[in-house]
Chain A
Amino acid sequence: MAAPLVLAGFFLLALVAMISDRGARRAEAREMPWWEGLFVDSMVLGHKVVAAPVDGVSSVWNGYVDLVGVREQNAQLKSRVSELEEEVLQYREALVTSGHLQRIAEMRKDHEFSMLPSEVVGFDSGPVFRSVLLDRGGQDGVDSGQPVITDDGVVGLVTATSGHSARAMLVLDSQSAIDAFVQRSRVRGIVRGRGTGSLEFGFVARGADVEVGDLVVTSGLGGVYPKGLRLGTIEEARGAEGRLLREAMLRPAVDFGRLEQVFVMLWRAPSMDLLYGEKSDAPMDPPGAEPR
Chain B
Amino acid sequence: MKRLLLTWGLGVALLLLQSVLLGFLPFPWCPDLVLLLTMALGLHWVDRVSGLALVAALGFCADFLSGALLGQHVLVYLVSFGGTALLSRRLNLRGALPLALCAGWVTVLGAAVAGGASMLLGGASLPPGAWFAALLLHVLVNAALAPGICTAIAVWLSWLSSEGEVHRPVQIESHTGPT
Contacts and interface: CB of A to CB of B under 8 A. Distances in A.
Given A54-B17, A196-B130, 10 more contacts: A6-B52, A13-B74, A14-B71, A17-B71, A25-B69, A43-B16, A43-B64, A50-B13, A127-B135, A196-B134
Interface of B: 12-13, 15-24, 26-28, 30, 32, 34, 48-49, 52-53, 56, 59, 61-76, 78, 82, 110-111, 114-115, 117-118, 121-125, 127-128, 130-131, 134-135, 138
Contacts of A167: 65-67
Interface string A152-195: 00000001000000010100011100000000000000001011
A131 B17 contact: no
A7 B78 contact: yes
B74 to A, nearest CB: 4
A125 B48 contact: no
B78 A124 contact: no
Residue with the greatest number of chain A CB neighbours at <10 A, chosen from B23, B48, B72: B23
Most buried by A among B21, B27, B48, B63: B27
B61 A198 contact: no
Contacts of A16: 71
Interface in A1-28: 2-3, 6-7, 10-11, 13-22, 25
Given A169-B67, A195-B124, A125 B32 contact: yes
Contacts of A175: 118, 122-124
A173 to B, nearest CB: 7
A122 B111 contact: no
Nearest to B138: A127
Q: Kindly list the 9 A-B residue pairs having the minimum CB-CB distance in the complex, ordered from nearest.
A: A131-B67, A17-B71, A3-B48, A123-B22, A14-B71, A21-B70, A18-B71, A174-B124, A14-B74
Contacts of A229: none
Contact of A43 (B65, B123, B127): B65
B122 A22 contact: yes
Given A40-B65, A124-B22, A125-B34, A3 B74 contact: no
A39 interface: yes
A125 B66 CA distance: 8
29 contacts: A6-B52, A10-B78, A17-B74, A18-B117, A21-B70, A22-B121, A36-B64, A40-B64, A43-B12, A51-B23, A122-B19, A122-B65, A123-B26, A124-B66, A125-B32, A125-B62, A125-B65, A126-B111, A127-B114, A127-B134, A128-B114, A129-B118, A159-B67, A167-B65, A169-B67, A174-B127, A175-B122, A195-B127, A197-B26
Contacts of B127: 128, 174, 194-196
A102 interface: no
A20 B63 CA distance: 14
A126 B130 contact: no
B111 to A, nearest CB: 5
Nearest to B75: A14
A285 B115 CA distance: 36
A58 B24 CA distance: 9
A131 B62 CA distance: 12
Given A54-B20, A167-B67, A174 B32 contact: no
B52 A3 contact: yes
Nearest to A167: B67
Contacts of A268: none
A275 to B, nearest CB: 13
A12 to B, nearest CB: 10
Contacts of B135: 127
Nearest to A200: B128
A50 B30 CA distance: 16
